[in-house]
Amino acid sequence: MSTVIIDGVKLCLSQFINVCRNYSTVILNQNAICNINKSQQVFETILQNNKTHYGITTGFGYQHMNNVKKEEQKRLQENLIMSHAVGIGEPFDEEIVRGMMLLLVNSLSKGFSGVRLKLVETLINMLNKKVHPIVPRKGSLGASGDLVPLAHLMLPVIGLGQARYNGDNMSGLEAMQSAQISVLRLDEKEGLACINGTHCMTSIGAFLVYDTKNILKIADIAAALSFEALIGIPKIFDERIHKIRPHKGQIDTAKIMKSLLQNSKLVYCKAIPEKQDAYSLRCIPQVHGASKDAYNHVLENILIEINSVTDNPIIFVDENEIASTGNFHGQPLALCYDFLCIALSEIANISERRIERLVNPQLNKGLPAFLIKKNDINSGFMIMQYAAAALVSENKVLSHPASVDSIPTSANQEDHVSMGTIAANKTKDILLNVRKVLAMELLCSCQGIDLRKGMSLLGKGTAATYKVIRGNVNYMETDRELYKDLYICEKLIKDEEIIINVEEVINEIIF
């Protein structure tokens, strides 16, 4: 396993994935250690001035006007963690919890939070020894940070809550003891520094942009195979068309579709009449391309956020100053996630329309109804389109923007909230639906190719796709349990087996 060195500045998406999915070891570099120590020393100096500082010598939110006695300031931080741990529902996946810990470590390592090095090292030990706090999925408004999920994340650090260690759920204290990690008593500001940030919604978002890229690649691959099964007219990929409307995603999609279809004898055939295809074929570059452009916007913002400080208050070391801020507000991400919801939903929308054209005998250019030869006693792929329509409809509901809502909290002190974590959670639900719809399209298009006996006539990239799928899922002669085929095809997408094989054959990165 590789080692990821944290400096608070240069954490990239591939490193994030390596730590969270592949369990790479995390270490701090010397600059990060210096920044943490310097920030903590300056914070200690500031504390000696006996001035009022939010969340340190005062309560939180509406209670910021209440002063806290010196001897109770450490207890205030632990009370904050306990009282804010009111998460609801199923727990987050382990990888998202690891992402939350990694992003918190990276943010604290920048040296603007005033926490002890010992606290950061404890979080790193938990990552490296695989102590994973159990964090419920719901409860954050994405406003004054991801208060609720991050509070659950911090409970085992102080010997409370629940955690998973060596495959077993146990108390947070038991997990820490089993991993031989000492629990901590929090110092001033440390509780606030660890929950007043966007690390939960950003963790979800980092996985979203990583997985969406593969979804967008598969969308082009599935569309190309359907294009052949439906004998589309390839003139639409002519680069001259797209240069006069030069959206990057549109141009890139047209180019990659030509690469995937290169040498296809099904579509590059003089016998094809020069008419028009339906939009779900003719507008692939415009629709897929727009979703790619939206994705690039979201990616840019995620990469900014994973190396940002979203704590409050912030310590400015050089000026010996502490400032109350609003960097914890999730609005920059909330808008992005709502945008990504729409971009992903559109990929499933147009995919389902291609599935309909494949199964509908009035639209599929001579293929048998529902892609089955003997369709008197066999339903074939009829209900595959039905299920795709159900997922597409669900996506439309989930695409309603969360960021347009706001419910004031903390006695109206926190009077505008982002709902960013809600937006992130529903975007993940949509992504999972889209993956299934694309798996359905791949299965239907392969069946259509078989029925046309076009296996030897496929393009360069589509032939590679067909080979991978047919190496795992057989042609359907009569009805069988299609959910099994769907699960296999979805796993091929998730494991990137299709993408790896296709990109190797065409010698080109799809997106």
- C-alpha to C-alpha distance for 334 and 342, rounded to whole angstroms: 13
Q: Which residues of the chain have pLDDT under 50?
A: none
What is the model's pLDDT at position 274?
A: 66
What is the model's pLDDT at position 272?
A: 67
pTM given for the model: 0.95
Using DSSP, state whether 81 is helix, strand or coil.
helix
pLDDT tens sequence across 368-399: 999 999 988 999 999 999 999 999 999 999 99
What is the model's pLDDT at position 57?
A: 79
- Copy the structure tokens of residue 53: 């500082």
List C-alpha distances in Å: 41 to 35, 115, 380.
Answer: 10, 9, 70
Residue pair 381/447 in contact by the 8 Å Cβ criterion: yes
Residue pair 280/348 in contact by the 8 Å Cβ criterion: no
- C-alpha to C-alpha distance for 453 and 443, rounded to whole angstroms: 15
What is the model's pLDDT at position 1?
A: 61
Which residues carry out catalysis? Answer: 54
What is the model's pLDDT at position 403?
A: 95
The pLDDT mean for the chain works out to: 95
Domains of the chain are 3-197 (1.10.275.10), 208-310+325-408+415-506 (1.20.200.10)
- Copy the structure tokens of residue 489: 């095809």
